[in-house]
C-alpha cells in the first residue's frame, strides 16, 4: 500500500512569504502529525490532527497553522516566513491506536528561506 506522501519535496522561499505543505496519509490512517526538524533544535512537534480536529499542538507561534480534510489529507501553512523557518518538515500518519501510536513518516518537505 502507498506510504505517506509529502509535497513538495523541496522549496525555496524568501522572508515574508508564506508556504503551504501537503501530506497524504496512508489509507485508513486518521491521525496526521507534523514535525519540524532542524540541526539545532532536533525534531519539534508542531501539531496533530484527527478527524479534521486539531487534537494536540506544540509550542510554535501562530504563524504555523494546519488543517485536515475529510479524506484525512492534511496541510500546514507557515506565514510571514523567517530565516529560522528553514527546516525539514515531516508529516506522519497513524491509526491512532490508544497506547500504541506508531507513526509512519513521509520523506519530508525541505524548506529553505532566503
What residues line the site for other proteins (CB under 8 A)?
4, 31, 33, 35, 42-45, 48, 50, 55-56, 58-59, 88, 90, 92, 94, 96, 98-108, 110
Those residues with Cβ within 8 angstroms of residue 4's Cβ, 6 or more apart along the chain or in another chain? 23, 24, 25, 26, 91, 92, 93, 104, 105, 106
Q: Please report how close the Cβ of residue 50 comes to other proteins at its closest, in angstroms.
A: 7
Q: Which is nearer to other proteins, 35 or 64 (CB)?
A: 35
Phi and psi torsions of 70, nearest 5° = -65, -20
Q: Which is nearer to other proteins, 11 or 103 (CB)?
A: 103
Q: Which is nearer to other proteins, 62 or 99 (CB)?
A: 99
Q: Please report how close the Cβ of residue 16 comes to other proteins at its closest, in angstroms.
A: 26
Q: Please report how close the Cβ of residue 64 comes to other proteins at its closest, in angstroms.
A: 15
Phi and psi torsions of 84, nearest 5° = -70, -5
Q: Which is nearer to other proteins, 67 or 105 (CB)?
A: 105
**Can you read off the three cell numbers belonging to residue 31?**
491521525
Phi and psi torsions of 17, nearest 5° = -75, 175
Return d(Cα 24, Cα 1) in angstroms, integer.
13
Q: Please report how close the Cβ of residue 61 comes to other proteins at its closest, in angstroms.
A: 15
Amino acid at each position: 500500500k502507498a506510504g505517506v506522501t509529502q509535497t513538495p519535496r523541496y522549496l525555496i522561499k524568501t522572508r515574508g512569504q508564506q508556504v503551504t505543505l501537503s501530506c497524504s496519509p496512508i489509507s485508513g490512517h486518521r491521525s496526521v502529525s507534523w514535525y519540524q526538524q532542524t540541526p539545532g533544535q532536533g525534531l519539534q512537534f508542531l501539531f496533530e490532527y484527527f478527524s479534521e480536529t486539531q487534537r494536540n499542538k506544540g509550542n510554535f507561534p501562530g504563524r504555523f497553522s494546519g488543517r485536515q480534510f475529510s479524506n484525512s489529507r492534511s496541510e500546514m501553512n507557515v506565514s510571514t516566513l523567517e530565516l529560522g523557518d528553514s527546516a525539514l518538515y515531516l508529516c506522519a500518519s497513524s491509526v491512532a491506536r490508544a497506547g500504541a501510536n506508531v507513526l509512519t513518516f513521509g520523506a519530508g518537505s525541505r524548506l529553505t528561506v532566503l
